């Protein structure tokens, strides 16, 4: 699976909500749509996946150019990029499975694990933030 799903520089919406299954040999490959955000290096939301909209109760238009800390308050004041790289402490916490609190449109708080992926296309850098919500019965 290609985690760094590329998109055309002319595509202003890296998450297309109208994808169709791709054909590979005799098997249909269903596109995966994890709850995810496209962020600029300052943490401003550029786009979101359809499953993100469903999980959080927001529409894309509600979120574009809002800071990610609106949804993940623990990221308030955190520099996502330091010295041209993903913040090493943030990266460490994500790899360790640190639980973050996310807040949906109705104000409900739930735990999740975050994954950041650095994406670069045609010299433009951005971040993909994948959100893995935790089921209440799995939380400590």
pLDDT at 39: 96
Owning domain of residue 72: 34-138
More confident residue, 93 or 21: 93
**What's the predicted TM-score (pTM) here?**
0.74
Domain CATH for 100? 3.30.450.20
Give a yes or no: residue 23 inside a domain: no
Residue 31: pLDDT band by 50, 70, 90 thresholds? low
Q: Following CA atoms 49, 83, 87, 16 in sequence, which dihedral angle do they give, to the nearest 10 degrees?
A: 10
More confident residue, 123 or 32: 123
Give a yes or no: residue 89 inside a domain: yes
Give a yes or no: residue 21 inside a domain: no
| pLDDT tens for each residue of 64-116 | 999 999 999 999 999 999 998 999 999 999 999 999 999 999 999 999 999 99
Give a yes or no: residue 16 inside a domain: no
Q: Token pair of 93, please?
A: 């916490």
Give a yes or no: residue 18 inside a domain: no
More confident residue, 18 or 30: 30
**Contacts (Cβ under 8 Å, ≥6 apart) of 10:** none
Domain count for the chain, please give it: 1
Q: Are 63 and 45 in contact (CB under 8 A)?
A: yes
The mean of the pLDDT values for the chain is 83
Q: How far apart are CA 66 and CA 97, in angstroms?
A: 25
Give a yes or no: residue 91 inside a domain: yes
- Residue 46's region, left for phi above 0, alpha for psi from -120 to 50, else beta, is alpha
């Amino acid at each position: 699976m290609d985690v760094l799903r590329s998109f055309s520089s002319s595509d202003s919406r890296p998450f297309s909500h109208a994808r169709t299954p791709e054909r590979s040999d005799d098997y249909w490959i269903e596109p995966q749509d994890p709850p995810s955000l496209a962020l600029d290096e300052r943490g401003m939301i550029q786009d979101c996946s359809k499953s993100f909209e469903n999980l959080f109760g927001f529409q894309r238009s509600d979120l574009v150019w809002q800071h990610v800390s609106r949804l993940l308050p623990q990221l308030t004041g955190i520099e996502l990029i330091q010295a041209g790289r993903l913040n090493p402490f943030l990266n460490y916490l994500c790899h360790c499975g640190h639980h973050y609190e996310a807040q949906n449109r109705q104000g409900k708080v739930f735990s999740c694990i975050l994954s950041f992926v650095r994406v670069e296309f045609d010299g433009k850098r951005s971040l993909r933030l994948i959100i893995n919500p935790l089921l209440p019965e799995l939380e400590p």
